[in-house]
């Protein structure tokens, strides 16, 4: 029977059961989620009142399948919240997020459910040997048995981490914490987006835009026209608008304005996030203490590949010891270069991008802007799919009959080499005011078992790349092309998933392992053999000249010390926020300055602050987890070395990476999966070697 509220119909009339986005209105979401919670609660009551002894099927699997309708509606709501939402849609998060948190917490702290889970755990996992990856990775029965073990184990530890062992008063408090924290996170994100959208710079004097590439000026003129400005150029804080200004604009004051505006978003303005940071830290600390951990970082790291805060911090400090002295030398080079070139007395943050680029140009005789004509967005996307076909044998075909939530969105079907359907993918690549900044991959449906049987994944890649104008197609920078390759790596992790249970499938891995598939995919972008497949000039069709590619590759490790220090500053600042006693932090800015001082490469600028716009850790899933990028990068550098050794399109290596890493998801511990692929544990120095720092 069809429901009046279109969000409550798990089946649609569309081929592939595609989500009927055009049917949804903002007013549908809250009632749909309220109804879906009722349905999920009824399923939970049936599980609790089942008179049969607890088994894998009637307890663990039942929990895995619980709340399918709720998952469907909530996924749509939150994915649109990030990609396409107006003020009314955003405001609903303050009601929806606490409702979902309360429901999740009620399950996690329910003694009857935990007793059933514990009984299955004791019968099938406790004291039993952990399954190892079978010699024959195609042995379906062995894989299914291993997944069964892993799902029971993960369910049991999940309940303990969710507060199942606490007394009633502490359980109640834990639920309150979850509800409160869940409302803060979207508010933080909204503030960053509003602060980003709130700032514009309209320039009419041609002297003030001197040096900015023609492509970027065309985009800025197009934006000015679109916003009803009288001529000139309009710049904003989207990376595709901001980056060309700080990299090329000769006018130092213009560079200062845009760089500073970006660096003080949501800090001491009408969208100030300082109070939300302090509240968030207190709630996270209180939850960690309730659950028996020293602090939030210990709580998070106890369920990561790194295994402990000490291990992750030691890993970062080792890179710091090598990279920081190199970064200081790199900054001195730029400082001296700027002094000689323009007599600049003091190098400031808004000078770094500009003079670094000039130095790079002098040293390697090329400017990154030269690459844009070879990176027309349609060619990059098609090229990416050609590369993926050559690696894994898969085909990605554009389809036009799938409903979308915005006209910018394109839809793609993914097929395996034996013509097996692998999944559906949406791509939404350009900025707009209804979308948060940055780039991400998300899922509307996970691969694995659902109530009606096995389903293939539905994924989406969202970004804010250089858009086209009336006169010119979208031409990407190398970094923007890298972003598409990166996010498609995440998408492949879901699309090539081949598990039984969606809770273990695809990107549902330990968080510091999740960036391995995305980061490894970036490598093909700078390989001549791959680029020759698609890098054609958008007007002439000419292939990317070898001498230009050689210059790009030669410059690959330019300022690698600074790049590492930037990432380390984010990662170790994240740890500082989540290991300090929140009661001792009264001034957000003072705390940030204190913990980032050891990473300082340039003079501090009053009024700027990183943390207030650090959505990854205060509104995303990376709290006490930002180190994951460097951790996974080290794994990826080592994994990629095998491709380099055997050939970047070597079928045997690609098949091993697919079968042991991408297809397996969280069926085994990530270290076991990595060793099965690489034949040994990771080389701890692989990253430093690759970056030319060792």
Report the alpha-carbon distance of residue 373 to residue 379 in Å, rounded: 10
Question: What confidence score (pLDDT) does residue 596 get?
Answer: 98
In CATH terms, 373-554+629-690 corresponds, of 1.10.3720.10, 3.20.20.70, 1.10.1370.40, 1.10.340.30, to: 1.10.1370.40
The pLDDT of residue 30: 98
Cβ–Cβ under 8 Å, residues 208 and 251: yes
pLDDT at 282: 98
Nearest in space to 474 (alpha carbons), one of 432, 437, 429, 441? 429
Query: What phi and psi, each to the nearest 5 degrees, are found at residue 210?
Result: -60, 135
Separation of alpha carbons 663 and 498, rounded Å: 5
Phi-psi category of residue 244: left, alpha or beta, with phi > 0 → left and psi -120 to 50 → alpha: alpha
| Whether pLDDT at 213 is above 90 | yes
Task: Give the active site residues.
Answer: 487
Cα–Cα dist 171/165, whole Å: 9
Q: How far is CA 417 from CA 395, 650, 664, 694, in A?
A: 7, 16, 19, 40
pLDDT digits (tens, 9 = 90+) for 252-309: 999 999 999 999 999 999 999 999 999 999 999 999 999 999 999 999 999 999 999 9
Structure tokens at 677: 């692929």
Nearest CA-CA partner of 145 in 132, 126, 158, 154: 132
**pLDDT tens digit string along 522-578?**
999 999 999 999 999 999 999 999 999 999 999 999 999 999 999 999 999 999 999
pLDDT tops 80 at residue 691 = yes
Average pLDDT over every residue of 239-249: 96
404-412 long-range CB contacts below 8 Å, 24 or more apart?
A: 404/21, 405/21, 405/80, 405/83, 405/84, 406/83, 406/84, 406/432, 408/432
- The torsion angles phi and psi of 68, rounded to 5 degrees, stand at -60, -45
Residue the block writes with tokens 């901001």:
242
What torsion, rounded to 10 degrees, do the Cα atoms 660, 416, 442, 302 define?
Answer: -10
Which numeric CATH code is attached to 6-108+110-161?
1.10.1370.40
Give the pLDDT confidence score for residue 481 in this predicted structure: 97
The residues, any chain, with a CB within 8 Å of residue 332's CB and separated by 6 or more, are: none
Give SS3 for 443.
strand
Range(s) for CATH 1.10.1370.40 in the chain?
6-108+110-161, 373-554+629-690
User: pLDDT tens across 410-460, in order?
Assistant: 999 999 999 999 999 999 999 999 999 899 999 999 999 999 999 999 999
CA–CA dist 192, 406 (Å, integer): 22
Widest distance between CA atoms in the chain:
83
pLDDT at site 474: 96
Question: What pLDDT score does 175 carry?
Answer: 97
Strands (E), 110-267: 200-203, 233-236
Pick the CATH number of 274-366+560-626 from 1.10.1040.10, 3.50.50.60, 1.10.630.10, 1.10.1370.10: 1.10.1370.10
- Please give the structure tokens belonging to residue 170: 């502490």
| Average pLDDT over the chain, rounded to an integer | 97
pLDDT in tens, 60-92: 999 999 999 999 999 999 999 999 999 999 999
Query: Quick check: 1 pLDDT over 90?
Result: no
- pLDDT value at position 2? 82
Q: Please tell me the pTM assigned to this model.
A: 0.96
CA gyration radius, the chain: 25
**Quick one: which of 312, 157, 165, 295 has its CA closest to 669?**
157
Three-class DSSP category at 163: coil
Whether the predicted pLDDT of 215 surpasses 80: yes
For the chain, give every residue range classified as CATH 1.10.1370.10: 274-366+560-626
Is the confidence at residue 682, as pLDDT, over 80?
yes
Contacts 24+ apart (CB under 8 A), 119-125: 119/53, 119/54, 119/59, 120/54, 120/55, 120/56, 120/59, 120/60, 120/152, 121/152, 121/153, 121/155, 121/156, 124/56, 124/148, 124/149, 124/152, 125/149, 125/152, 125/153, 125/156
């Amino acid at each position: 029977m069809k429901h009046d509220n279109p969000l409550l119909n798990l089946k649609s009339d569309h081929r592939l059961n595609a989500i009927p986005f055009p049917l949804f209105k903002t007013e549908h979401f809250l009632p749909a989620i309220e109804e879906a919670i009722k349905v999920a609660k009824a399923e939970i009551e049936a599980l609790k009142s089942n008179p049969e002894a607890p088994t894998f099927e009637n307890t663990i699997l039942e929990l895995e399948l619980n709340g399918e309708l709720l998952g469907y509606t909530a996924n749509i709501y939150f994915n649109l919240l990030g990609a396409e939402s107006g003020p009314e849609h955003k405001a609903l998060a303050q009601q929806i997020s606490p409702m979902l948190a309360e429901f999740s917490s009620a399950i996690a702290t329910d003694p009857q459910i935990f007793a059933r889970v514990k009984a299955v755990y004791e019968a099938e996992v406790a004291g039993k040997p952990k399954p190892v990856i079978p010699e024959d990775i195609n042995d379906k029965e062995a894989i299914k048995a291993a997944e069964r073990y892993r799902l029971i184990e993960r369910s049991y530890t999940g309940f303990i981490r969710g507060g199942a062992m606490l007394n009633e008063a502490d359980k109640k408090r834990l639920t309150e914490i979850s509800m409160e924290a869940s409302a803060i996170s979207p508010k933080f994100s909204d503030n960053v987006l509003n602060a980003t959208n709130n700032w514009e710079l309209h320039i009419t004097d041609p002297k003030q835009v001197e040096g900015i590439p023609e492509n970027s000026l065309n985009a800025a003129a197009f934006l000015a026209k679109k916003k009803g400005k009288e001529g000139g150029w309009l710049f904003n804080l989207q990376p595709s608008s901001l980056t060309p200004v700080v990299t090329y604009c000769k006018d130092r004051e213009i560079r200062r304005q845009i760089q500073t505006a970006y660096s003080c978003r949501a800090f001491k303005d009408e969208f100030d996030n300082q109070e939300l940071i302090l509240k968030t830290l207190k709630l996270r600390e209180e939850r960690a203490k309730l659950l028996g951990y020293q602090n939030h970082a210990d709580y998070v790291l106890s369920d990561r590949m790194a295994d402990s805060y000490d291990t992750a911090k030691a890993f970062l400090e080792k890179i710091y010891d090598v990279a920081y002295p190199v970064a200081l030398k790199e900054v001195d080079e730029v400082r001296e270069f700027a002094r000689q070139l323009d007599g600049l007395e003091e190098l400031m943050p808004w000078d770094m991008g500009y003079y670094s680029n000039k130095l790079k140009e002098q040293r390697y005789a090329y400017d990154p802007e030269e690459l844009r004509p070879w990176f027309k967005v349609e060619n990059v996307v098609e090229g990416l799919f050609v590369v993926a076909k050559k690696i894994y044998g898969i085909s990605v075909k554009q389809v036009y009959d799938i409903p979308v939530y915005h006209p910018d969105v394109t839809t793609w079907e993914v097929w395996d080499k034996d013509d097996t359907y692998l999944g559906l993918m949406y791509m939404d690549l350009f900025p707009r005011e209804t979308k948060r900044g940055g780039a991400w991959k998300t899922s509307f449906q996970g691969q694995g078992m659902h109530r009606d049987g096995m389903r293939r994944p539905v994924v989406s890649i969202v970004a804010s790349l250089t858009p086209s104008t009336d006169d010119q197609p979208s031409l990407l920078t190398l970094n923007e092309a890298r972003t598409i390759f990166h996010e498609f790596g995440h998408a492949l992790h879901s699309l090539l998933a081949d598990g039984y249970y969606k809770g273990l499938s695809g990107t549902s891995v330990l968080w510091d392992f999740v960036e391995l598939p995305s980061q490894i995919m970036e490598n093909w972008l700078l390989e001549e053999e791959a680029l020759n497949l698609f890098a054609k000039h958008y007007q002439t069709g000419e292939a990317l000249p070898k001498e230009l590619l050689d210059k790009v590759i030669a410059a690959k490790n330019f300022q690698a010390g600074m790049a590492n220090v930037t990432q380390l500053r984010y990662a170790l600042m994240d740890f500082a926020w989540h290991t300090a006693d929140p009661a001792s932090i009264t001034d957000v800015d003072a705390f940030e300055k204190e913990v980032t001082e050891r990473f300082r490469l340039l003079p501090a600028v009053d009024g700027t602050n990183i943390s207030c716009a650090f959505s990854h850790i205060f509104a995303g899933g990376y709290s006490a987890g930002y180190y994951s990028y460097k951790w996974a990068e080290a794994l990826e550098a080592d994994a990629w070395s095998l491709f380099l050794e055997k050939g970047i399109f070597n079928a045997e290596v690609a098949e091993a990476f697919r079968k042991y890493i991408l297809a397996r998801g969280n069926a085994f511990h990530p270290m076991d999966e990595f060793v099965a692929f690489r034949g040994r544990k990771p080389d701890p120095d692989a990253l430093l070697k690759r970056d030319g720092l060792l």
